[in-house]
Amino acid sequence: MDLMKGKKGIIFGVSNTHGIAYGIAKQLFDAGADIAFTYAGEAMEKRVRPIAEGMNAKLIMSCDVTKEDEVEAVFKECEKIYGKLDFVVHAVAFAPKEDLMGRFVDTTKQGWDIALGVSAYSLVSICRHAERLMNEGSSIFALTYLGSVLSVPSYNVMGVAKAALESAMRFLAVDLGPKGIRVNCLSSGPVKTLASMGIAGFTKMLKAGAMRAPLKRNVALEDVGKAGLYLASDLSSGTTGEVIYVDCGCHSAYASAEEMDVISKAE
């Protein structure tokens, strides 16, 4: 498939071959895209570099998205190597583990600042530096989750960060739209990744998601990767300021028939 042949872009946030960002990168690469990769410090380089080299990346660079000078440096290097860009994928999120446990009301100020800074403000910073390099008709999209609009057990401050990310996306879509740059979010259902397995009760989340989803299953990396390919490609040429859900329909259902049966039996 040559859907992305001749298209150049960068992905922030690939960390291993089991993550959502990798699923998107693989679909883009298989469709012919030329992809640059960043990694978060030396500790992550040994994981990311083999993946990037396997996809013939011309640029593999360290970037702490909370540091403006590092984000700027990445796009300056992109300009040297690629000239212009056609897509940017924001797959960066973090919150201190202690702020994902217990009650949300006990969230610390430090945990709040870290979660929103890394997970939401970084999209603003990335868009600001990417803007001048983006071709008309190009795409920027970020990864989000249903916890942005619903309270999800053990998601806590990350849900607030994702809500901020989605709101920022809509304002960015307005700012960049006149230049033909689309900005969207991709909301994936729960997927077994190294990051998600660190969430308390994640296995229960998977079971609950599959029960509630109209398709009666959880999404696979391939499902999310294909949606990422759609957003990065010209197929989504008229889509901006949007949250695209890829969760087998879980977000659209109040409760499954099975859940209602359990409630009826408990009465």
Name the residue with tokens 């795409």.
139
What is the rounded distance in angstroms from the CA atom of residue 265 to the CA atom of residue 144? 35
Q: Which of 22, 145, 230, 245 is catalytic?
A: 145
SS3 assignment, position 259: helix
DSSP character at residue 252: G
245 is a catalytic site residue: no
Q: Which of 22, 155, 230, 245 is catalytic?
A: 155
Are the C-beta atoms of 39 and 47 separated by less than 8 Å?
yes
Rounded to 5°, the CA angle 180-226-46 comes to 95
What is the rounded distance in angstroms from the CA atom of residue 111 to the CA atom of residue 81? 37
What is the rounded distance in angstroms from the CA atom of residue 159 to the CA atom of residue 129? 26
Identity of residue 160 = V
230 is a catalytic site residue: no
Are the C-beta atoms of 28 and 4 separated by less than 8 Å?
yes
What own/partner pairs with CB < 8 Å and gap ≥ 24 does 204-211 have? 204/153, 205/152, 205/153, 209/247, 209/248, 209/250, 210/248, 211/256, 211/258, 211/259
**Active-site residue list:** 145, 155
